[in-house]
A and B are shown apart, each in its own frame.
Chain A
Amino acid sequence: MNTKEILETINMIDNEDLDVRTITMGISLLDCIDSDIKRACDKIYDKICRYAGELVKTGEDISREYGIPIVNKRISVTPVAMVSGACQSASPIHFAKALDRAAKTVGVNFIGGYSALVHKGFGPGDYALIESIPEALAETEFVCSSVNIGTTKAGINMDAVKKMGQVIRKTAELTADRECIGAAKLVVFCNAPEDNPFMAGAFHGPGEPDCVINVGVSGPGVVRAAIKKSGQGKSLDEIAELIKKTAFKITRTGQLVAQEASRRLCVPFGILDLSLAPTPAVGDSVAYILEGMGLEQCGAHGTTAALALLNDAVKKGGVMASSHVGGLSGAFIPVTEDAGMIEAARSGALTLDKLEAMTAVCSVGLDMIAVPGDTSAEILSGIIADEAAIGMVNSKTTAVRIIPAIGKTSGDELNFGGLLGSGPIMNINRKSPAEFIHRGGRIPAPLQSLKN
């Protein structure tokens, strides 16, 4: 019995916000396809309730026995467009409502997968689903939506990019009375992973088994505390080592929880997503880690380099700690969910342009960013296209989760509450990309050699 190690673990949980961020059960809906929409929705509801009935209780039991907080219990499903395509005469929104009902019955706080994969083109079912996203997110409470509009191998579907700019705007408009929260539950991806347990972008990819348990670990506060405690005067290679060791410990906790959840629910373990996911709790911030490395404030020149080091070290430390690593794995930079980023955005140190550069080296993309309410659909599409291009060319996942704050302008604030946090509305570049966006078509897949 090593008292020092035991107290180190307890300190991580009590004072440094170590937690398992989510246990996400992935459920395939492919066997629920039916041309009768009512029957399809009933099958979906029944299957989710049957598979995930014990999910929340099991998560709570594990949390109590192992003493580690498990913050969220969630569900991801097959991209609904694959199922709803069979019922072409009815609106796919019925599926969103069935998912919402199932989520409520089993007690999870989000269900992801109101999604379509359209990186190379739309099917009629895909298009109908995308059209219905604003209404679906306005009329449901727990449903999250995502659309994949590009991949490194297929290029970028610019028709979808154009469409998603409009969809994001409309989603924000329909939920304007609720801080535009609909847009916070909608992610536009390039290179979307099929096994991501984190919302709002989680869906259960077509290559996944019938049912699977994916777990997302977190712990920015632990990494920050380690750097604060032992990082004084250390070189950056020593800092990288420190982050690796800390990430290893965090990930081992997640691996234990994932195995235990898989065993108790009799569902195979899929992957562990070893992401540093910040929360608005002071201290649980990725920005503070970067500042701990020696930046006056997140957003200063040097931020991209510091984030690159962090993102890489987290993966290197975590990979050996888990049997299967997947999902988004790395460091998230959601602005409104990170106390340090909120401060940096408020003070003007962190701009949208800097965030875009950071997304080239972080694990996802432009995340939880509020922009002025009068931002046009074309500008939103331009932001999506830029972000997708970074992902496509660098063979990484990028995403855009951006919230046009209807009726508000830069300097105002949006407040979602809870894990989604709050934050200032950021300035955007007002020059119009409209002609470029309206050209439509596809940006061809990039060359994979001659890398410069």
Chain B
Amino acid sequence: MKAVITVIGKDMVGILAKVSGMCADKSANVLEVTQSILQDMFVMVMMVDIVNCTVKFADLADELAALGDDLGLKIHCMHEDIFNSMHRI
């Protein structure tokens, strides 16, 4: 099972480190990362494998959202199926 983590907000030092650090903490394996700066906004999209994740997926999503709140960023962690079903026939 794969999840997509998106981070949107003001660029600052250490975003990637903090998000991937939390993933490592919970044994969520990062498969792919893309990031870009769009008009001063930092946008990072990360694909993670959560098969061996040590916490429940919904809890991981909550913890990442809370991390986002601490950093003043919007962090979503969503099941990849939501994107597949919406954009693929």
Contacts and interface: CB of A to CB of B under 8 A. Distances in A.
Interface of A: 1-3, 5-10, 14, 61, 64-68, 249, 252-253, 255-256
Given A66-B82, A256-B82, A6 B6 contact: yes
Tell me if A's interface is mostly helix, strand, loop or mixed. Answer: helix
B78 A66 contact: yes
A255 B88 CA distance: 13
6 contacts: A6-B4, A9-B82, A66-B81, A67-B78, A256-B82, A256-B85
A7 B6 contact: yes
A65 B82 CA distance: 10
Contacts of A255: 85
Contacts of B12: none
Contacts of B76: 10, 67
B15 interface: no
Contacts, number: 62
Contact of A67 (B36, B45, B61, B85): B61
Contact of B87 (A2, A10, A68): A2
Contacts of B71: none
A9 B4 CA distance: 12
A60 B82 CA distance: 16
Secondary structure call for the B interface: strand
A4 to B, nearest CB: 9
B37 to A, nearest CB: 13
B85 A253 contact: yes
Contacts of A68: 78, 82
A6 B45 contact: yes
B58 interface: yes
Nearest to B43: A7
A252 B83 CA distance: 10
Q: 8 smallest A-B Cβ distances: which pairs?
A: A67-B78, A64-B58, A5-B87, A256-B85, A252-B85, A66-B82, A249-B86, A66-B79
B79 A65 contact: yes
Nearest to A253: B86
B4 A14 contact: no
B86 A10 contact: no
Contact of B82 (A2, A7, A64, A67): A67
Interface string B67-89: 00000001011110111011100
B43 to A, nearest CB: 7
Contacts of A256: 81-82, 85
